[in-house]
Amino acid sequence: MEAHNGLSAKLCEEAGFEAIWGSGLSISAALGVRDSNEASWTQVLDVLEFMADAASIPILLDGDTGYGNFNNVRRLIKKLEQRNVAGVCLEDKLFPKTNSFIDGEKQRLAAVDEFCGKIRAAKDTQQDPDFVVVARTEAFIAGWGLEEALLRATAYAENGADAILVHSKRKDSNDIMSFMENWKLDVPVVIVPTKYPTEPLAKLEAAGVTNFIFANHSLRTVITALQTNLRKLYETRDLMSVQNDIVKVDEVFRLQNVQELKRSEQRYLPDNAANTRAVVLMASKGDFGDLVADKPKAMLRLHGKPILIWHQEAFRRQGIVNVAAVRGYRKEAVNVEGLHYFDNDDFASTGELSSLYAARDFLRGDMIVAYGDIVFDDFILQNLMTAPGAIKIAVDAAWKLRARSDAHRDLVITDGDADPLRDHTCRLLEIGSSNRAVSQDKATGEWIGLLYLSAEKTGQIAALLDGWANKQPEKLKHGDLPMLLNHLVASGETISVVHSYGHWRDLDDQKDLLAAQNAEQPN
């Protein structure tokens, strides 16, 4: 059965056919060119490669005249074998060939001895003993008749052809039947009954034909379907006019074996971003005066968009679609679509850990925990996600260049020298929190407010917070994230510090917001 690309090859196999005809006519037509060697042989080879990858049944390439002399045939055979193509059919015409059904009688045939040399060259070149070389005679097509057909077929068989293809353009099978009556060699005969479709194959089989090629019926099916449906769509401008006549998109996915990719992603992409969740802590009011009279600061607009949407989009660009926000102050004004919401109604008297714990049900799997009042460039989050480590924080090594509102909050001390170029990741030793001051002299950077936790660490921290909720509620109530990080370091956890230089802002007050609005857009 004919195929002309990977998809049609796969459909041939699914329909049950035993082998594929890589038709020169169909491949060139599908490429939008004529069957006159307008597509180069390597362009045809590229199509064959897709076909061979898509189907596991054997493919017989319609190799036309072999695209040149014996030497071109040798290279063709080598390349076909490398691509797992099972065989080639060579025809005794002259390069550049013309399709047999176009002015066939005017077409010149190759000299018999020259063509026999091509067959021998092909057989001598093949490495796989199962590779098949079919010799096709166009004697009937070119108007020479039975005698020439038999003479040529015999010479080709004697020079090593594995099968003979006898082509005819009569509307009946008389050429073929007379050929079969006189064919005495033990070499199989293949036919292409395109022009005599009313002849029962059983009759030809009884006459000794062993192989039949349906040479262009996939392509012609596609053309019919396309012409019908495209016309309907053009005329009606209504997708429903073809809806019931076309396969569902899911069928396309099935043919592409999308499931296999999904399974493999699970196997080979352990840090699959699609499984990562993010939680944005945005419950507190902040020092924003009138600007936050009716909404929390995460809903303040920066370059036309609420800060919370900047977050949502930044996460989505890294493949994180499962995002939660913990609301508090003016929670009713937080209306960004597509987020999970949790509420810390005690926001005025509690700290960040209470907000994080408000999202307790969301705390599972790989997680990003983010402050709600920061904006950052994509690479900061990307580096945080891809750096090694189970607990990671994004830290700005250029912190001294920033005007900071707090003397030591979020300043980090690490075991490295904080040069992001030399020392991309090092370990956190200590971080400034509301209950711990760190020395500015020893600080190597400032935590940006992005924390990454592997699924295992998310689970452990959720359990730790459960314990505090039960036994030390005050700790949970007033603790901030740096305090949690210091606790983890003290209990022996490794927290990796992922450094960068600048390219982020925190928006602590109106001055920050104004500066951010006047600066370049993030990303």
Backbone phi, then psi, for 351, in 5-degree steps?
Answer: -110, -165
Tokens (6 digits) for 407:
């003397």
Cα(185)–Cα(469) distance, integer angstroms? 91
Backbone phi, then psi, for 139, in 5-degree steps?
Answer: -60, -45
Distance set, CA 357 to CA 68, 353, 452, 480 (Å): 75, 6, 16, 11
Select 21 or 371, whichever has its Cβ closest to ligand SPV: 21
Tokens (6 digits) for 241:
């006019």
Three-state SS at 293: coil
Residue 61 binds to ligand SPV (criterion: CB under 6 A): no
Find, among 370, 422, 359, 376, the residue nearest to 392 by Cα: 370
- Element (DSSP H or E) covering residue 274: none
Residue 454 binds to ligand SPV (criterion: CB under 6 A): no
Select 99 or 500, whichever has its Cβ closest to Mg ion: 99
Cα(119)–Cα(436) distance, integer angstroms? 86
Residue 192 binds to ligand SPV (criterion: CB under 6 A): yes
Select 4 or 392, whichever has its Cβ closest to ligand SPV: 4
Tokens (6 digits) for 355:
């907000």
Task: For the chain, give the longest Cα–Cα distance.
Answer: 104
The nearest distance, CB 260 to ligand SPV, in angstroms, is: 32
Select 74 or 167, whichever has its Cβ closest to ligand SPV: 167
Near ligand SPV in 210-269, by CB under 6 A: 215-216
Catalytic residues: 35
User: Edge-to-edge strand order for the sheet containing 87-91?
Assistant: 2-3, 20-22, 59-62, 87-91, 132-137, 163-166, 189-191, 211-212
Stretch that binds Mg ion, among 23-31, 39-47, 105-113, 114-122 (CB under 5 A): 23-31
Near ligand SPV in 325-384, by CB under 6 A: none
Name which position in 6, 24, 66, 286 contacts Mg ion (CB under 5 A): 24
Cα(395)–Cα(417) distance, integer angstroms? 13
Each residue 26-55 as x (binds ligand SPV by CB under 6 A) or -, in order, gives x--------x--------------------
Report the phi/psi class of residue 181: left, alpha or beta, with left for phi > 0 and alpha for psi in -120 to 50. alpha
Crossing angle (nearest 10°) for helices 6-15 and 41-54? 40
Three-state SS at 328: strand
Residue 215 site contact among Mg ion, ligand SPV, none (CB < 5 to 8 Å, cut-off depends on kind): ligand SPV
The nearest distance, CB 216 to ligand SPV, in angstroms, is: 5
- CB distance 87 to 73 below 8 Å: no
Name which position in 2, 62, 138, 175 contacts Mg ion (CB under 5 A): 62
Residue 88 binds to ligand SPV (criterion: CB under 6 A): no
Stretch that binds ligand SPV, among 18-26, 227-235, 274-282, 416-424 (CB under 6 A): 18-26
Tell me how many degrees the CA angle 368-374-380 measures, rounded to the nearest 5: 55
Residue 100 site contact among ligand SPV, Mg ion, none (CB < 5 to 8 Å, cut-off depends on kind): ligand SPV
Stretch that binds ligand SPV, among 22-30, 387-395, 491-499, 512-520 (CB under 6 A): 22-30
Each residue 146-185 as x (binds ligand SPV by CB under 6 A) or -, in order, gives ----------------------------------------
The nearest distance, CB 23 to Mg ion, in angstroms, is: 6
Residue 62 binds to ligand SPV (criterion: CB under 6 A): yes
Say how many Å lie between the first and final Cα of the chain, rounded.
53
Name which position in 99, 159, 486, 496 contacts ligand SPV (CB under 6 A): 99
The nearest distance, CB 112 to ligand SPV, in angstroms, is: 20
Cα(118)–Cα(173) distance, integer angstroms? 29
Residue 194 site contact among Mg ion, ligand SPV, none (CB < 5 to 8 Å, cut-off depends on kind): ligand SPV
Cα(280)–Cα(451) distance, integer angstroms? 11
Select 25 or 307, whichever has its Cβ closest to ligand SPV: 25
Select 122 or 215, whichever has its Cβ closest to ligand SPV: 215
Each residue 199-218 as x (binds ligand SPV by CB under 6 A) or -, in order, gives ----------------xx--
- Element (DSSP H or E) covering residue 206: helix 201-206
Residue 24 binds to ligand SPV (criterion: CB under 6 A): yes
Binding region for Mg ion (CB under 5 A):
24, 62
Chain residues binding ligand SPV by CB under 6 A are 23-26, 35, 62, 99-100, 192, 194, 215-216
